[in-house]
């Protein structure tokens, strides 16, 4: 009887030991899993907060960075952020660290003459743009969002988030923003010559906006704009990690200062690209008709090469003076890329597609080279398109050697000094 009782007790204690060991093991695995989770979370957040990172070792020397924007007016976020929208405030903290100002609605109302018509310089899909003057004398452009809903809100946040972190003299500088009540406003450096589109199409562009214009650009200025815009994209693609894909690169998003120096603007649709070489991100197709790369339009697979395609379209606009899509043209000529591509690599035909208003200010050699760059950028196979760094390298000599270029037309106008 007693031995049976002992056996029973022994079995009981073995069971107890097994249960305790199992419990201890589960606890240990839980702790291990939690520790691994913490490690991964920290790693991911460190990576997300780390761009812009120092340039990659293989990239060329860093681009000249503009002087930091020193706040002189208005309050700095996050401590004094007057925005009432919690989600927006959260996304803006990094920007505040970089000196982007937070404006009150009244300040911007006063700076732009109450958003009066006389101050309006343009109208885009985000809303109207007004010329403004800050009390410290700085000229600014104020974009007043009039698009309610999630898409507008996302674009606003992306613009602030990215422009607060990125610094390049080839990108439009964000001075500040306002997110007060239902108002969403962006405050930029004022670009005295507006957008490239309005200078290319003085009588108004068809299908791609409604820019009024003042003058035609000469060849050397076009080439310099092409180079500076290429440097803007090169910075986004190759100097920050992960790369930034602009997604809405077009002639109305290249702004020109008083000396016709170019800056790339409008990052509302931008996406962070894949870190993997040749990798893509999948996303819904957004952008502007005539500029969207075919593979992105078909599959939604977005890479930096989608921007290279859009850049090629802008280069074609600069060369031909034609808008990307114009269905009023004769059959076969409506889509710029389809019309121009077969002629871009034919020396004899290149001259036929060049903007007649250039009046032979270019050398044939330069024109053929620029046409070849454009052809590479807009080719249907994304992998064969060049990197923006390659485009920059190819354009540099064409801009620097402009004085040695012999114009096709002996009556060509004198070129504007470039530097």
CB of 144: closest distance to ligand ATP in angstroms? 10
Q: How far apart are CA 197 and CA 147, in angstroms?
A: 23
| Catalytic residue check, 248 | yes
* Residue pointed to by tokens 């000249």: 64
Give residue 251's Cα distance to chain centre. Answer: 13
Minimum CB–partner distance for residue 196 and ligand ATP (Å)? 9
Nearer to Mg ion, 257 or 346 (CB): 257
Region of 40-48, 152-160, 265-273, 399-407 interacting with Mg ion (CB under 5 A): 265-273
Binding site for ligand ATP (CB under 6 A): 121-126, 129, 141, 143, 172, 188-191, 194-195, 198, 209, 211, 248, 252-253, 255, 266
304 part of the interface to Mg ion, by CB under 5 A: no
Q: Which two tokens stand for residue 407?
A: 């114009």
Tokens 């460190």 belong to 46
266 sits near Mg ion (criterion: CB under 5 A)? yes
Q: Residue 126 touches which of ligand ATP, Mg ion, none (CB < 5 to 8 A by kind)?
A: ligand ATP
Q: Which stretch binds Mg ion (CB under 5 A): 99-107, 227-235, 246-254, 329-337?
A: 246-254
Shortest approach of Mg ion to residue 197 CB, angstroms? 9
Does residue 288 belong to the site contacting Mg ion (CB under 5 A)?
A: no
Residue 286 beta carbon to ligand ATP: minimum distance, rounded to whole angstroms: 11
Whichever of 267 and 362 has its CB closer to ligand ATP, that residue is 267
Q: Supply the minimum distance, in Å, between the C-beta of residue 251 and ligand ATP.
A: 9
Query: Exposure of 329 by Cβ count < 10 A (0-12 exposed, 13-18 middle, 19+ buried)?
Result: middle
Instruction: Provide the 10 A C-beta neighbour count for residue 276.
Output: 8
CA distance 386 to 219: 23
* Nearer residue to ligand ATP within complex by CB, 199 or 402: 199
**Cβ-based nearer residue to ligand ATP, 246 or 301:** 246
Candidates 107-115, 214-222, 261-269, 395-403 — which segment interacts with Mg ion by CB under 5 A? 261-269
How far is it, in rounded angstroms, from Cα 246 to Cα 230? Answer: 12
Residue 144 or 344 having the CB closest to ligand ATP = 144
Chain centre to alpha carbon of residue 351: 32
Structure tokens at 216: 């035609």
Phi, psi for residue 256 in degrees, rounded to 5: -120, 130
DSSP letter for each residue of 394-409:
HHHHHHHGGGGPPPSS
Contact 158, 172 (CB under 8 A): no
Q: Which of ligand ATP, Mg ion, none sits in contact with 141, Cβ below 5 to 8 A by type? A: ligand ATP
305 is in an annotated binding site: no
**Across the chain, which distance is largest between two alpha carbons, in Å?**
124
User: Taking the CB of residue 105, how many other CB atoms lie within 10 A of it?
Assistant: 17
Stated as kind and residue range, the H or E segment containing 379 is none
Using the rule CB under 5 A, which residue among 81, 179, 197, 253 binds Mg ion?
253
Contact 130, 115 (CB under 8 A): yes
Which residue among the candidates 218, 248, 266, 355 is catalytic per the annotation? 248
Q: Which residues of the shown chain bind Mg ion in the complex (CB under 5 A)? A: 253, 266
Catalytic machinery residues: 248
Binding region for ATP: 150
């Amino acid at each position: 009887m007693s031995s049976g009782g002992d056996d029973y007790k022994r079995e009981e204690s073995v069971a107890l030991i097994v249960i305790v060991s199992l419990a201890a093991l589960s606890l240990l695995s839980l702790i291990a899993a939690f520790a691994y989770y913490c490690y991964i979370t920290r790693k991911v957040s460190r990576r997300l907060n780390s761009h812009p990172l120092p340039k990659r070792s293989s990239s060329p020397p860093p681009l000249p960075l503009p002087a930091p924007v020193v706040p002189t007016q208005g309050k700095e976020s996050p401590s004094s952020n007057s925005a009432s929208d919690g989600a927006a405030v959260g996304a803006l903290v990094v920007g505040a660290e970089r000196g982007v100002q937070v404006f009150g609605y009244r300040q911007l109302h006063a700076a732009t003459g109450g958003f009066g018509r006389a101050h309006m310089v343009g109208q885009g899909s985000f809303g109207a743009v007004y010329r403004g003057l800050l009390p410290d004398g700085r000229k600014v452009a104020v974009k007043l969002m009039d698009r309610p809903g999630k898409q507008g809100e996302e674009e606003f946040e992306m613009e602030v988030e990215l422009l607060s972190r990125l610094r390049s003299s080839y990108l439009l500088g964000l001075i500040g923003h306002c997110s007060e009540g239902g108002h969403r406003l962006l405050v930029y450096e004022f670009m005295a010559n507006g957008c490239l589109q309005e200078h290319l199409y003085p009588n108004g562009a068809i299908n791609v906006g409604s820019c009024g214009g003042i003058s035609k650009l000469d060849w050397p200025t076009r080439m310099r704009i092409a180079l500076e815009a290429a440097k803007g994209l090169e910075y986004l693609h190759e100097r920050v990690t992960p790369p930034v894909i602009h997604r809405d690169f077009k002639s109305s998003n290249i702004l020109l200062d008083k000396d016709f120096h170019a800056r790339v603007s409008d990052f509302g649709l931008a996406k962070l690209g894949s870190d993997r070489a040749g990798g893509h991100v999948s996303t819904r197709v957004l952008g502007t008709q005539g500029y969207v790369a075919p593979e992105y339009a078909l599959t939604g697979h977005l890479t930096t090469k989608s921007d290279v395609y859009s850049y090629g379209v802008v280069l074609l606009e600069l060369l031909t003076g034609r808008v990307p899509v114009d269905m009023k043209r004769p059959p076969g000529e409506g889509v710029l890329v389809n019309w121009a591509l077969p002629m871009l690599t034919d020396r004899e035909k290149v001259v036929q597609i060049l903007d007649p208003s250039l009046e032979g200010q270019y050398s044939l050699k330069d024109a053929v080279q620029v046409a070849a760059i454009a052809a590479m950028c807009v080719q249907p196979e994304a992998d064969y398109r060049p990197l923006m760094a390659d485009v920059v390298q190819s354009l540099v000599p064409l801009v620097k050697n402009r004085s040695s270029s012999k114009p096709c037309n002996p009556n060509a106008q004198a070129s504007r000094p470039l530097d």
